[in-house]
Amino acid sequence: MRIARFAADGEVRYGIVEDSGSGTSAAANGHGTEGLTIAEVAGHPFSPGEEVKLTGARHQASDVRLLAPVLPSKVVAIGKNYAEHARETGSEPPAEPLIFLKPSTAVIGPGDPIVRPAHLSKRVDFEGELAVVFGRLCRDVPAARVPEVIFGYTCANDVTARDLQASDGQWARAKGFDSFCPLGPWIETELDPGDVLLTTSVNGEIKQEASTSELIHDIVTLVTYATAVMTMLPGDVLLTGTPAGIGPLIAGDQVSVHIDGIGTLTNPVVDGS
């Protein structure tokens, strides 16, 4: 099931994304919504153990504005979790997961602009990543119970001011600017994340291409590790790390993170004033 959050008629709602069977390619319009309909959900879908209820209303996905599929209280992110990427940054993969936080205010949705703080940073990079969305409040989750706390998966871009990451030591500024965490286009609740292809492209040119099977620390390990530190709330997000191929974005670029089995998250890049 694909769960989207969207704005229609001046209201924000959740819905289930369905193929309307028009035969149009879902990737045809760049946002991946061509030929899709959205069945409105009553309330929100984060109700453990309860069936999702529909209102009966349906929208053409191309007629609504998709929003970030979730508004997390926090975004927990993992650094250097693909060996080749760790090496391209000049370091060895860490023995234990390397955790950092991105503020909730960095989250934007599909099509929203990534705003480069050009007056503060000379190099802003894309980082395509698989994102885990938590479905329930949890802490100290043992490995065997990790599937119970995961609501689904979405695409993420862990946008990073690379020069500030190096100069600050701490990563809060480099990773924390408004718009530095695009999420979407929706949450896929039935993905098997063990071996799916992740592709990041800029203006149609592929820059990153890797399977999630290359994660150094797998999702079960990351969830047990992170929840040993902090409580996760429904809708909280965990970014699983980026593969090799990171590179800069400039104003006018269109950056897309595609994950097989989920969809494509595309954002334009602009310079902030």
Task: Provide the binding-site residues for Mg ion, judged by CB under 5 A.
Answer: 127, 158, 242
Q: How far is the CB of 127 from Mg ion (least distance, A)?
A: 4
Nearer to Mg ion, 37 or 240 (CB): 240
Nearer to Mg ion, 17 or 77 (CB): 77
Least CB distance to Mg ion at residue 232 (A)? 18
The distance of closest approach from Cβ of residue 194 to Mg ion in the complex, given in angstroms and rounded to an integer, is 20
Q: Is 184 helix (H, G, I), strand (E, B) or coil?
A: strand
Give the CB-side neighbour count of residue 92, counting CA atoms within 13 A.
3
CA 71 to chain centre: 11
Given the complex with Mg ion, which of 46 and 82 has the nearer CB atom? 82
3-state percent helix, strand, coil for the chain, nearest multiple of 5: 15, 40, 40
Closest approach, Cβ 80 to Mg ion, in A, equals: 8
| Shortest Cβ 156–Mg ion spacing (Å) | 8
Show contacts of 146-150: CB within 8 Å, 24+ apart: 146/219, 146/220, 146/223, 146/224, 149/223, 149/227, 149/232, 150/219, 150/223
Distance between CA atoms of 129 and 157, rounded to whole angstroms? 6
**In Å, how far are 2, 19, 65 from 22, measured between CA atoms?**
18, 8, 20
Given the complex with Mg ion, which of 242 and 267 has the nearer CB atom? 242
DSSP state of 82: B
Closest chain position to Mg ion (CB) = 158
Considering the complex, what minimum distance in angstroms separates the CB of residue 159 from Mg ion?
9
- Cα separation, 71 vs 74, in Å, equals 9
Phi, psi of 112 (to 5 degrees): -75, 145
Instruction: Report which secondary-structure segment, H or E, holds 161.
Output: strand 160-161
Q: Considering beta carbons, is residue 121 or 242 the nearer one to Mg ion?
A: 242
